Structures are given as structure tokens and as C-alpha cells.
Structure 1
């Protein structure tokens, strides 16, 4: 059964992305979605200390044809908190999470949309560890850590994901808005995965995507402390199912 979708919300949490955020917005501007789906871009500035707000407002002013909604946290709360704000503000039928950096390619939104448009999926994860798309070669231990966290998450959710920690996650907006999310930082990924997996008859798909990773010098923010928090969240929210 072919599903018709009219609008897609794209949620961008932003923290100190002033020098680069216009690049990702330029990419979003050029993306042509399948079936002429309209884009709603929601940017949540998590109290950046650089010129992120100025860069966003300038971009909005120079591109009035784009449907960009801008929100700002008055105190820094974390990526997860910015996502909570964006999710609750979304009005599209489906929503996708997009980091403000250049690690993921918006041209691949259509890869995530296809299982939904074909009538098979409610949730789609974009995996960096499957398929033949380009991947920048960077950190061995990050890769091992991501695969370990995915393995641990799968043990509790009984899913067979290859990349639980991926940024690219596509959700039915009504479904994700109905979930009470708590994690303020990078614990969002294991928490939302655990809670989505418990929804009766939920249809979760995974597709291969590209990955253009950043070094810490280029602005990468996640660290080893976030890895330990992810383990805690997998155990905390996974145990709720047992």
C-alpha cells in the first residue's frame, strides 16, 4: 500500500555551529523530496556561545521562501533537550533528525522515506554500518563503542539494528510526540530506541546511509562520558521492559 505524505519536519539541534550551519541549510534548500513532500525546518539553538543565532537569523532573512522555524533555549540543556523542543513543535506528518554539522547528507532523506512511502514502516533508522555508501575513515574505538552500544541495546529491545546511535532517525510524528522523553544529552538515542521498541505493532526499518564524520578539531562534541551515559540509559530504559 502506497502511503501519501504531504509534510516532513526536519529537526536541527544547534550548539556553537555558527561557522557551518549555513552549509547544512544550503543542502536542505536543494533537497527535492520524493512525491514533492514539503519541508518544515525546525532549528533549536541550545544557548550557543558563538554567533549561531546571528547566522540562523541572517539565513532566514535571506531565504524567506524556506519554512524555517527558529527556537532558542535560554540556558544550555543538551542535544536531547533541544530535540525534545523540536519534536513537540513539529507539525509535519513525519519528522527526521538532522545534526547541524556536515556528517550526514540530506540528499539521503529519500532513502529513509522510501520504506514509509511504500507502506512498510513507521520508523526508519539510517545505518552507517550497512550498505555501500561513502564513509569517512576516522576513529577505531568510536566504531567499536557504537557497535557495542547497539549490541547492548538490541539485547534489551530484541531488535536487530546495526546502528542504534545514528543521528538519522525518521519517525511518524504522532508516535514520537506520544512518547515521554527524559534524556537531555546524548542519552536520547538509547532512550528513544528502547521506548519505540515497546510500542505494539511498531514497524521499524533500517537503511544504509553515508557518513562524513568530523574530528574533534572540526567540532565533534560527543565524548567517552557520553558513552558511559548511553550504557546507563540502555540499562535504565531497557530494564523497564523486563
Structure 2
């Protein structure tokens, strides 16, 4: 049955809406039909994102509840709708008549069984001809779903399906923030990082009933989703490529410091050493960025902090970092001084250029890495300095 009073219901069927007058009535009637047929006590909620085509009036006339989202954006509309929902569970889906609101039983069954998030899988349920552009069907969705699965292991094959259900209280705990199209990814990523139970059920996708183009912009929104996934996976963005670059560069510099190397008839000497040192610096800087990003993200609640990470942070201090940085810096300076002393023993006369570079590169590398470590340690000290919580805006004095 449909309900509009203030009591808690079992299910809210939530639809974000921005000028969906062509298809909104059909979606509402399908959702209401499902509630009537299934006997689920629920409501149909339209989170309006500033429609100017009369969508609000259509929804109200059909008995759906309408909540105005104060900010524009797909995520903003859904955040507003989740906050306004009266259901213990929420099933969200676009109001363009592409998703089947008459077949929500698999979602409800999984939610009743204890799932925190239930994702629809369009590839398992069926995609009608013309319902999804080939670029999305064969490249965008498969690639982004593969990356999402690789980074976060949510065990879903359709990472960006718009029809999904969730336990409202559990999703509230994730403190979702993004107001754009990234919201769909943020929900899955944070639920995965929080070790929520995530299930997947087949669903169908048909060609939407609108005469106008969809709000989605393929390349722009695809890049935004990919960027979001990378930012929430700092190990893949910083650690793995950084560690590879650092180790490869350091090994090459260390090897060539003792003389040139021949591999398969190709000679590697001081020129290679210079580029290897640059690679080493880039890799080391990437690792430092990871540490600072992780510190900031966990301090601000963007990323969860594992027990292992907490124990490392507890042992790490800015002072220890400073000592390591000063040690590296000192080694670099010492190598440079020894080279200067050796040159002095030659009455500062001409030297072999290759041999000079062979010593200067490790010296410079130590100085640069040491200085970077010192600066990182100071900055990490700023991030980890205990501070009191900021006063709410309402009580901050002008």
C-alpha cells in the first residue's frame, strides 16, 4: 500500500527527477502497482532537482510524495531523497522508464535477508536493443566495472547500475558526499570499504521513453567515475606505480654506481644513471603522496582506517621522519664532500666526466630524497596535530 503519513514504512521507492514529465507518470504508476501487488508497505518518493516541466505536479496528482532537492546534481537529488525517505529500505531508480519498477521482489527479498546494498545487474537480466549505447555496453561499463572490482572487491559485475536497493540506516552511516554522477560509485566504494554485505540480482534495461537526450555525458561522466575510483584507491594510484618506479630507479642507480653494464649488446652507463635517478625521485614522491593522502583522507573520514594502518600511524612520528630525512640528506652531502676531497687531492685539475657523474648522481639523489622526507614529515606533523572540533556554523561568532 502507499502511504504519505509520518510513520516508518518498510520501503521507499526513490526516483531522482529533473524534467521527466514524459515518463514520470509511467514510472510512478509501475512503482505504485508493485506496492499494491506485493503488499509491501511503502511509498513512492520523487526527489525533484528543479524541474520546470511540471514534473512536481504530475507526481503529486498521482499520490507520490515530492521532496525538493536544494542543490542540483544527480547525487544531490539522491542524498535529499534518502534523507526524506520514510522507508527502512530504499530502492532507487531513474524516472526515465528504463528500469522495471514492477519487478522489485528480488531486491526486497535480499534486503529482508540482511543485505546492506543490493545492486541490479543489467548484463545478467537483459539489455534491450538500443537501451544502452554500444560505447557504454562494450567499453565504458565493462571497463569501469572491472576497475571497480579490481580496486575494491564488491563482487558485483555491473558497477554502475542505477537500479539498486539498500538499508537506509546503513547507507546513512557511510556519510555519502558527492553531488554529481560519482554518487553511484561512491555508494558502492564506501560500502565495499566498510565491509558491508553487497548482493547482486538480475534486472532488465529497456530504451528510455524520453524524446530528449539523457543527462549523461559519456566521456565526461566516464572520466569523473574513473577519477573517483582512483582517488578512493590510493594504493593503485600512488603505491604500486610509485614503488615500481622507486625500486627500478634505485636498483639501476646502485648498479651503475660501480660501473657501466652491458645487456644484450646495449651499454648502460652514466646517462642511464641520470634518468634512473629521476625515476627514483618520481617513485619516492608518489609514495610520499600516498602517505599524506592517506593521513588526510582518514582524518577527514573519506577513507576508513584499518587496524594495521592505525598501528603504523601510532608508531610513526614527525620526529622519526625528520631523522630519516636528515640521514638521507647527510649521506648525500657526505658523498659530495668525499668527491670534493678527492678532487682536491688532484689539485682541482681535470677529471673524467663519466666518473664525476657516477658519484654526483647518488649524492644528489640522497640530498633530494632526504629533503623530500623532511618536508613530508613536517607536513604530516601538521595533519596529525590534535585539534578540537570546529564549532557548528550556527555558533561561530562573526
TM over 0.5: yes
Query: Counterpart in 2 of 1:136?
Result: 129
Seen in structure 2, the aligned counterparts of structure 1 residues 57 and 6 have a Cα distance that, compared at 3 Å, is: closer
Deviations for 1:176-214, whole angstroms, at most 9, x for unmatched residues?
Answer: 1112112111111111111011224x2111011110133
- Name the structure where strand makes up a greater proportion of residues: 1
For residues 213 and 177 of structure 2, the distance between their equivalents in structure 1, rounded to whole angstroms, comes to: 26
Give the 3-state SS of the residue equivalent to 1:105 in structure 2: coil
Which of 158, 175, 178 aligns to 2:173? It is 178
CA contact (8 A) 2:28 2:59 kept: no
Q: Which has the higher contact order (CA 8 A, sep 6+)?
A: 1
Give the 3-state SS of the residue equivalent to 1:193 in structure 2: helix
Query: Counterpart in 2 of 1:212?
Result: 206
- Unaligned runs of 5+ residues in structure 2 are 1-7, 235-302, 306-398
- Name the structure where helix makes up a greater proportion of residues: 2
Q: CA deviation at 1:6?
A: 6.0
Across the aligned residues of Structure 1 and Structure 2, the Cα RMSD in angstroms comes to: 2.3
Give the 3-state SS of the residue equivalent to 1:124 in structure 2: strand
State TM-score, norm by structure 2. 0.53
For residues 70 and 226 of structure 1, the distance between their equivalents in structure 2, rounded to whole angstroms, comes to: 27
Structure of higher CA gyration radius: 2
CA contact (8 A) 1:128 1:135 kept: no
Superposed, 1:1-242 pairs within 5 Å as 7-32=10-35, 36-60=39-63, 68-73=64-69, 77-117=72-112, 119=113, 121-131=115-125, 133=126, 135-137=128-130, 138-143=132-137, 144-200=139-195, 202-214=196-208, 217-224=211-218, 225-239=220-234, 240=303
For residues 88 and 78 of structure 1, the distance between their equivalents in structure 2, rounded to whole angstroms, comes to: 15
Seen in structure 2, the aligned counterparts of structure 1 residues 6 and 44 have a Cα distance that, compared at 3 Å, is: closer
> What is the total number of aligned residue pairs between the two structures?
227
State TM-score, norm by structure 1. 0.85
